[in-house]
Amino acid sequence: MNIDLSGKRALVTGAASGIGAAIAEAYAAAGAHVAVQARTRDKATPTVERIESSGGRALPVAADLSDSQAVREMCDKAIAGLGGIDIVMSNAGIYDPLKFLDLSEDDWEETLTVNLKTPALIAKLTLPVMIEQGLGGRQLFTSSISAKMAEEDGSAYCASKAGLHAMMRCMALESGMHGITVNAICPGWVDTPMARKTWESMQQDGQTIDDVYDEVRSQNMLGGMIEPVDIASMAVFLASDQARYITAQAINVCAGMCSTL
Catalytic residues: 143, 157, 161
CA dist., res. 1 & res. 87, Å (int): 20
β-partners of residue 9 are 33
Distances (CA, A) of 15 to 67, 172, 219: 17, 24, 27
Chain mean position to CA 24 = 10
Interhelix angle 209-218/193-202, nearest 10 degrees = 110
Beta-carbon contacts of 117 under 8 Å, excluding residues fewer than 6 positions away, are none
> Any bridge partners for residue 168, and if so which?
none
Q: CB of 27 within 8 A of CB of 87? A: yes
Question: Helix/strand/coil (H, E, C) string of 159-210?
Answer: HHHHHHHHHHHHHHHHHHHHCEEEEEEEECCECCHHHHHHHHHHCCCCCCHH
